[in-house]
Amino acid sequence: MLQRNLGAVHVAALLVSASYGVAFLLGSGEMALHAGMAGSLYAIVTALGMLALALAAPTLWRGRELIWDVLGERYGPVVRKLVALLSLVWMSGVLAAQIHGGIAVLVATGLPATHALAVIAAALLVMSSIDLGMAATLFACCLLAMNIALLHALVASHGLTVYLHAWPSFIHETRAAPRAQTLVTIAAVGFLVFTGSDYQQFVVAARRPRDAWLGCVLASLFLMVTGFLPAATVVAAVHAGKLSGLTDTASAIPWIMLQTSGAMGSVCIGVTLLSALGSGTAITRAMSSALEGLHAGDGRYGYASRLLIVAIGCAIATDGQAIVSTIVSLNIVYVAAVGLLFLFHESDRQIPPRCASAMLLSGAIVSLLVSAMNWTGIGNLPGWLPLPAGLFASACVPVAWQFAPFLGRVRL
């Protein structure tokens, strides 16, 4: 259980570290190579999600419970364990993205990929054990240095006007992007910011309700200001012809750093890596909490659970997908399974515990099946289909439960 001793600035720093990691930084840069300023979609949706989290922060702080505990209290221990298990699914994708990006940073410096993987795994294991207050201070300093380095790279590429016109460019290019995929990304990222345990853990650990909501607001403002920096830096570098020799799109940001920072390039790479590891650290902590929830919270598996978590993240990180795509694809499974049940809970709609369990299972299974068909190329299905398919499957369960009473006698 987290100690409740974090001030607003510490809450904000840890919330930012949980989002301003590889997916936010390198993932936005990677997307910007082919989507322009629309590559900032992940960053901006995260910032808006923080504002929504600020509205719920006082209630969340008073309840002292993460999402699987909240749903478990209403629908029973089976639902509690299923939500914790599904949380591990989406968090595995996020952790894998952080590891993927960390590898890209080290590979940009010339380190072999296998060695880079070992370094990142070891760093996550060490950093997930440090004190939260110390982590907040460390990551806040690194984030400040990271944004200064990005701003320097932006100016060196004569791209300040790109950043100043970021909002109009972002809106225009997002509208031009495939609408269905954009909406799915917004839902997959936004829902997880509001309900994800990796963010909620820091709100619950705040000293007072005021620190909880103010920390969310400060994090949102910071992300709004800095969210366009990675994409703007990449767009400016493309216009300046500085990415002509790039072979790994995930390495766009570290590649720019090494080209524009001169003798300080290695320092900037180190700061980038440490900032990125902050997100992996937050995810590792949250996943460890979820695992303990599956084991009735006895807390006996601390180090072993973190070791298993990092190993799973390393395995997924080799899937070959883009950084943000890795996150969104597994977020979708969670949202498809939990989304409708969460809405039922918030609207105070009563359903039987067995029905709630069936909703979670049907949404997750259908979403996973459609996703698997996408990954293997079976049926040539659109990439956005797993989310609506899973939500539809989840919605069918309470309808069937209402009109077929005998289903209530089926044991799950």
- Residue 183 belongs to some domain of the structure: yes
CB within 8 A of 339, min separation 6: which ones?
187, 191, 363, 391, 394
| Residue 373 CB neighbours (<10 A) | 16
Helix (H, G, I), strand (E, B) or coil at 206: strand
- φ/ψ region of 379 (left if φ > 0, alpha if ψ in -120 to 50, else beta) reads left
Q: Is residue 402 part of a domain?
A: no
In a domain, 330, yes or no: no
Asked if residue 109 belongs to a domain, the reply is: yes
For residues 277 and 123, the answer to whether their CB atoms sit within 8 Å is yes
Per-residue pLDDT, 135: 66
Instruction: State the total domains in the chain.
Output: 1
Contacts 24+ apart (CB under 8 A), 153-157: 153/233, 153/237, 153/256, 153/257, 153/260, 153/261, 154/229, 154/232, 154/233, 154/236, 156/260, 157/233, 157/236, 157/237, 157/239, 157/240, 157/242, 157/256, 157/260
Question: What separation in angstroms does the CA of 213 have from each of 8, 53, 68, 330, 342?
Answer: 8, 8, 21, 28, 21
pTM, two decimals, is 0.85
Interatomic CA distance for residues 364 and 332, integer angstroms: 9
Phi and psi, residue 157, nearest 5°: -95, 10
Compute CA distances 81 → 5, 84, 96, 291, 361, whole Å: 28, 5, 22, 9, 12
- Judge whether 336 lies within some domain: no
Torsion angles phi and psi, residue 76, rounded to 5: 105, 170
Domain residues for the domain of 214 are: 8-322
- What is the domain-level CATH number for residue 172? 1.20.1730.10
Residue with tokens 């949250």: 286
How far apart (Å, rounded) are the C-alpha atoms in residues 307 and 112?
Answer: 22
- Dist. CA 100–CA 308, nearest whole Å: 17
The CA-based angle 104-117-86, given to 5 degrees, is 95
In a domain, 62, yes or no: yes
126-128-133-135 Cα dihedral, nearest 10 degrees:
60
| Local confidence pLDDT in tens for the 412 residues of the chain | 456 778 899 899 888 877 776 667 888 999 999 899 999 999 999 999 999 999 989 988 888 778 888 899 899 999 998 998 898 888 888 888 888 888 888 888 888 888 989 999 898 888 777 766 666 667 767 777 878 888 888 998 999 999 999 999 999 999 999 999 999 999 999 998 988 877 888 898 899 999 999 999 999 999 998 899 999 999 999 998 888 777 778 888 888 888 877 767 778 788 778 776 776 777 787 787 767 766 655 555 567 778 888 898 888 887 778 888 888 988 999 999 999 999 998 888 889 999 999 999 999 999 999 988 887 878 788 889 999 999 999 999 999 888 766 545 555 4
In a domain, 213, yes or no: yes
Q: Which phi and psi angles does 206 have, rounded to 5°?
A: -65, 155
